[in-house]
Structure 1
């Protein structure tokens, strides 16, 4: 229980005050936050709300989206990532989750897009280190490569991260995006101290029309969630385990109901 963290994206329409109150009542230590609702609520106000409840922020999601069609767009994205680093520091978390971005509009240059991600990390890593924040590169399932994330494997994420100090750049192990990879356990061992978070949900079939919302509640799908958690533990990771689920049916359900179900399923299938 001292590692469990509900990422607020799992209960998207539930007010932050309610998520925090439920987490406090359940005796939890952690909560995962997203930039857009936190910006709307107020970053400093959210930091106080969480701290007053005795919670800590396991991660802030998300920065990244480094790929761009021109230099002006690239500079805009770099500056937005600087703001994200500042927001993470204000919230008291040392993990800023990065989704790299897909191919720039009209481009088929995958190598060039990945070079943009590397260059973005190179520009931001020292600043993040000064603020006590690690840039956590998240690999997404290959089905998102064209439009959301040109980093499609944990090995690819580590190839980027290892070009920088481990105190500045790490990786996310997200079960939903990585479970299919025959090399994932070797790559988790390789990741070691660079693991910034282990995130859980489940792979359900059939996927919905909007595959972005295809994550299921733990235990409803195909992923060996406990085995992946044990691999992260063996690699030296002892930090929070975040439940992060994008699923319209769960978003439409009462927040407390989803909160209770997620905690129960975590204990059954992950802990």
Structure 2
């Protein structure tokens, strides 16, 4: 299959490209500037130059593909960049949805578990747990803008789009060039920390998430899964103290 991948310089997008390239698929990767040779070393892909709001670049790439895996996004956990987050995570997704509808292209949209409902202590949440069931992630620019992006995709499904949404947990893995989530690992390794946050997360391997996103695209193309379906791509539920201990043990740090 021929796949257009956004977010190719990020942890998940780069891993998706590597797995697709290794399997011999034809690829187009969206890049905003001149691609870094190190980041794309070993990946056989052509490039579409532009950002998520560049309708011409998006149209040309989508028109030439069977499927899109949309892993690009802006992560900001505070409030100061809400408008910018909405432009990227909502409006950029809208550009892709519109292009996929026009060209009958399948879409795998990468959301996040942060947008989903949270279960109470006596039950287990799934993709369909309503946000008002027991609350949800603490609102911030990232959570609200990613929820808005999900709604754009689900509205596209109502309009005839063939799409699924996948929601990763906290990803760690190789090829985290920026770094993104790997920044936590690096910070924890620098010095002993007397305190950790009281909460936790669902930690998963970015390679597993990439494989699942690719599988979703393949099943969409084969009409083996329903459009509009959402999937949690989670891993091991760990409190931050457990996770930080595992990180420091792996790196021989305190």
- TM-score category, normalised to shorter length: 0.3 to 0.5
TM-score, L = length of structure 1: 0.34
TM-score of the two chains, using structure 2 as the length reference: 0.36
